[in-house]
Structure 1
Amino acid sequence: MNSIAASNNLVAGSDDSLAQLDRLANLAEDVIRRCRAAGATEAEVGASVDTGLSVNVRLGEVETIEHTRDRAFGVTVYFGRRKGSASTADLQPDSIAKTIEQACAIATYTEEDPYTGLADPARLATQFSDLDLWHPWNIDAQDAIRLGQEIEDAGRAFVGIDNSEGASVQAGKSLSVYATSQGFVGTERGTRHMLSCALIADDEAGMQRDYWYESVRSAADFPAVASIGRKAAERTLARRNARQLGTRTAPVLFAPEVARGLIGHLVSAVSGGALYRKSSFLLDHVGKSILPQFVDIVEKPHLKRGHASGNFDSEGVATGERDLVNAGVLRRYVLGSYSARKLGLESTGNAGGIHNLIVKTGTDDFSAMLKKLGTGLLVTEVMGDGVSIITGDYSRGASGFWVESGEIAYPVEEITIASNLRDMYRGIAAIGADVDPRSHILTGSILVERMTVAGE
């Protein structure tokens, strides 16, 4: 039986989260009234309270136990087209009063910006569905220690695992309120829990390290915790005696946990800030083909228990399901109100980021994707910041496995993979059904037809 499911402490009974949200909302509305009384033509307030427990164990012993409670309260005022912002972590009346005063003072010194201001009131959310994001995990420190030890023990039981960087158990809750002088008040509450393990194995070159983790909204969704330690051990042992490769051109298969980064680069390139600064290689590409025809990418903000689900964005604009890419064609940009005004467009409800991108997959599992790769490189880790959203140039350190005739031949490391994102996106040959569910970007492995692989 799953050790978590066996616990009686899985889910909180009653909690006061709704009462806390009401108090934060009342405080936010009061602050907005005070901002208007101080002369602000518009105002907005964002407030949050994050609480959690984090436990780390290593070699069976406790390394750290941390209880957190972080508060944030931000005030933004507009005097016409002049904007001022200030924030505090102290919710005492004197601190709040000083924060309002500071925001108003800052606004008097800023330059007018014709694009600044609150979101279009007609676009604000009016419906707030239950997205099933609130699943408190009432685990205490002792139970968390035992879970961490169980995870690590499962990995250390593998022959060849010589050391450990430890296992971590984290349970977190977040409450947030966003309110504006337009009368909008939006509240959100969510939980996020994580289990992880990192292990070390010796090899001829010294040592290899790898890890695994699971991230969920509800602790009931964790797999058997021992599987996390086992996965970390298997990944670590598979890396032993890695080789370098000679420089060559080859097809490259990005494992799902790495493939989502390719989609993240696309999102960055079609986001408002990069576009109005004219610093994107996908500038003026709406309506143009940027991916193969079989590729669809849809934003689904209302997924139950989604990692980035929400009824509204960070400006209160209602979210909704919308295509980003359909049949390979870019259908829209990713915009908040400010960037939309700069571009002469409308907000897409993406102030603060994207909400749950779903990449259409094929039917091939991971083994079938290896067969499609044939002979080439499987990438399981990338390193470095060698990606230019301005030009699309892509060059990153990588490690993974060399594959021959659809079978993993040996591990590789200390290599560089390079191309241009334009060519990589057009050269996508297949997307696997092996979706990694641990992110707000849900994609399977991605096979790119051709990249330069540089090694020794």
Structure 2
Amino acid sequence: MDTNPTETHFSDDSLQRLEQLAGISQRLLEKARALGASQAEVSCSEDRGMDVNVRLGEVETVESTHDRGIAVTVYFGQRKGSASTADLQESSLEATVAQACAIARHTEDDEAAGLADAALMARDFPDLDTWHPWALDARHAVDLALACEAAGRADARIANSDGASVATAQSLSVYANSHGFIGRERSSHHSIGCALIAGQGDGMQRDGWYSSAIARADLQDPEAIGRRAAERTVARLQPRSLPTGQVPVLFAAEVARSLIGHLLSAVSGGALYRRASFLLDSAGTQLFPDWFAIDERPLLRHGLRSSAFDGEGVATRDSALVSGGVLQRYILGSYSARRLGLQTTANAGGVHNLAVAANAGDLQSMLSGMGTGLLVTELMGQGVNGVTGDYSRGAGGFWVENGQIAWPVDGITIAGNLKQMFAGIEAVGSDVDRRSHVSTGSILVGRMTVAGDD
């Protein structure tokens, strides 16, 4: 990538802005206390970014953003009230606290309401290397996007383009509560992507590729992204459907993480205390093969979702979610934990970095191991029932014979039940897609129903 030094060396006032946000949070906590709140918490955030989109060699949009948010939550005993503002004027801040208090005074008691336990607050704040801002100006962002799209359109089989984009963002946040906890975080995120169209008329196919990272140095070159987008798009030309039947299904790494996402939804506190999950009372039970493991690593340096504390200030720590195929715990904040009679797992606000352990090699070795079956590279629709675990989604990808890709397929549906799919996982590849905080390779499910043309 271009190494224009003006993009990496610039004035960084983020620490000063963090201290300003911390000062605001302390003033708001004092105001809440003065108005009679027994507990209070404040979240302050400031986000800056730029997003550039080009199409067919022309600039379509250049958008610069600068957003700020202040959220106040107060507790009067076990009555809760919340209010928010983006206005930093003192009168507006005072009105926000007053509004939160007024709401709390008119709500019902909730026995699970309140801050997380004071003893659980984080005390150590290591540098997790999540701050890599990119001082990218609009001109150079446009040049990168144009280069990305041009590299993809250089393939003669590419007939059209849905465009290329370059985005950069940086976020500052402070969380503070009346336990005396105050946590400051800063993070960055950058991406380059391209979507292309191949073929003509009813035979047109669309696909793309993107690179995403917290540091610009970790992004793929824009030209490489464009070429990869073109390769993926033309590979989909002249697809076929498949007869209905049961076959092995290999989820490519970029879609395999959706399977882990369904697990996370099912074992999250909100779904569990509402009795709206197919994995009720599943902690301590065997859900996967005995070699399968998922670890949460919130303190991973340079991780996409690393943090020393969760959304309630609770200290995070590395821990197993699944070990030996057994679900070790749920995903809980303090509210859902109290509703379930359990303790928070430091997941208020969601999970941090998850690593799914591999037991196989790269994609080609996974294809060889599968032999004959379906490689899924795209999923469509939302046909997943979180209560029953029934799974039915539109899909596209490639038919595989004798360990080799034979032809592209689309217009099919893959179906099963998530509980059976989890138990039927035969392999996880080492071809990890690192563009998400859920880090997994391709996942082979031994048998699923594929519905196409009979």
TM-score, normalisation: structure 1: 0.98
Tell me if structure 2 keeps the 8 A contact 1:10–1:220: no
The alignment partner of 1:205 has SS state of helix
Q: Distance in 2 between matches of 1:172 and 1:382?
A: 27
CA distance in 1, matches of 2:64, 2:200: 38
Counterpart Cα distance in 1 of 2:334 and 2:103:
22
Aligned to 2:49: 52
Q: CA deviation at 1:243?
A: 1.2
Is the CA contact 1:299–1:322 (under 8 Å) kept in the aligned structure 2? yes
Cα deviation for residue 362 of structure 1 reads 2.1
% same residue: 58
1:62 and 2:59 aligned: yes
Alignment partner, residue 309 of structure 1: 306
**Partner Cα distance (2:244, 2:106) in 1:** 56
Q: Indicate the residue corresponding to 1:320 in structure 2.
A: 317
Q: Deviations over 1:51-72 (max 9, x none)?
A: 0111111111110011100111
Partner of 1:164: 161
Q: Which secondary structure state, in structure 2, belongs to the residue aligned with residue 229 of structure 1?
A: helix
Partner residue of 1:256?
253
The residue that corresponds to 1:114 in the other structure is 111
Match 2:190 to one of 150, 168, 193: 193
Partner SS state of residue 9, structure 1: helix
Aligned positions of 1:47-446 closer than 5 A:
47-203=44-200, 205-446=202-443
Does 17-26 or 219-228 show the bigger shift?
219-228
Taking the aligned partners of 1:136 and 1:148, their CA distance within structure 2 comes to 19
Q: What residue identity is the alignment partner of 2:256?
A: A
Deviation at 1:441, TM superposition (A): 0.4
- Alpha-carbon spacing, 1:203–1:450, altered in 2? closer, same or farther (3 Å): farther
Q: For each residue in 1:209-235, what CA deviation from the matched residue of structure 2 results, as whole angstroms up to 9, or x when unmatched?
A: 111111111101112221100111011
CA contact (8 A) 1:299 1:323 kept: yes
> Which secondary structure state, in structure 2, belongs to the residue aligned with residue 341 of structure 1?
helix
Alpha-carbon distance, 1:203 to partner: 4.4
CA contact (8 A) 2:359 2:429 kept: yes
Q: Does 1:453 align with 2:433?
A: no
CA distance in 1, matches of 2:274, 2:53: 43
Unaligned runs of 5+ residues in structure 2 are none
For 2:447, give the aligned amino acid: R
1:319-342 superposed Cα distances (whole Å, 9 cap, x missing partner): 000000001011111100001111
Q: Where in structure 2 are the equivalents of 1:10-25 lying within 5 Å?
A: 10-25=7-22
Paired amino acid for 1:168: S
Is 2:399–2:408's contact at 8 Å kept on the other side of the alignment? yes
> How far has the Cα of 1:205 moved from its partner?
2.6
- 1:83 partner letter: K
The residue type equivalent to 1:386 in the other structure is G
CA shift for structure 1 position 286: 1.2
Q: Per-residue deviation at 1:204?
A: 6.3
What amino acid maps onto 1:398 in structure 2? Answer: A
- Please list the CA deviations of residues 224-270 of structure 1 after superposition, one character each: whole Å capped at 9, or x if unmatched: 22110011101110111111111111000000010000011111111
- The 8 Å contact of residues 377 and 401 in structure 1, kept in 2 or not, is answered as yes
Counterpart-to-counterpart distance in 2, 1:419 and 1:12: 52
Superposition deviation, residue 208 in structure 1: 0.7
Amino acid at match of 2:94: A
Are 1:204 and 1:241, in contact at CA under 8 Å, matched by a contact in 2? no
What root-mean-square deviation, in Å, do the aligned CA atoms of Structure 1 and Structure 2 show?
0.9
Return the alpha-carbon distance in structure 1 between the equivalents of residues 9 and 108 of structure 2: 49
Whether the 8 Å contact between 1:271 and 1:335 is mirrored in structure 2 is yes
What code does the residue aligned with 1:325 have? V
Deviations 1:172-205 (A, max 9, x none): 1100000001110001000000100000111463
AA aligned opposite 1:293: D
The runs of 4+ residues in structure 1 deviating greater than 3 Å are none
Separation (CA, whole Å) in 1 of partners of 2:33 and 2:204: 62
Distance (whole Å) between structure 1 residues aligned to residue 27 and residue 247 of structure 2: 61
Deviation at 1:14, TM superposition (A): 3.2
CA distance in 2, matches of 1:21, 1:362: 43
How many residues align structurally?
453
Per the TM alignment, residue 363 of structure 1 is displaced from its structure 2 partner at its CA by: 3.7
SS in 2 for 1:127: coil
**Unaligned runs of at least 5 residues, structure 1:** none
Q: Which amino acid aligns with 1:381?
A: E
Amino acid at match of 1:396: R
Provide the secondary structure at the position in 2 that maps to 1:258.
helix
Deviation at 1:10, TM superposition (A): 3.6
SS in 1 for 2:199: strand
- Distance (Å, rounded) in 1 between the aligned partners of 2:179 and 2:430: 45
- Greater shift in the superposed pair: 79-88 or 89-98: 89-98
Q: Contact conserved, 2:203 with 2:237, CA < 8 A, in 1?
A: no
Are the aligned partners of 2:360 and 2:427 in contact in 1 as well (CA < 8 Å)? Answer: no
Residue type matched to 1:260 in 2? R
Decide whether the 8 Å contact of 1:203 with 1:240 is kept in 2.
Answer: no
Quote the Cα distance in structure 2 between the aligned partners of 1:10 and 1:215. Answer: 18
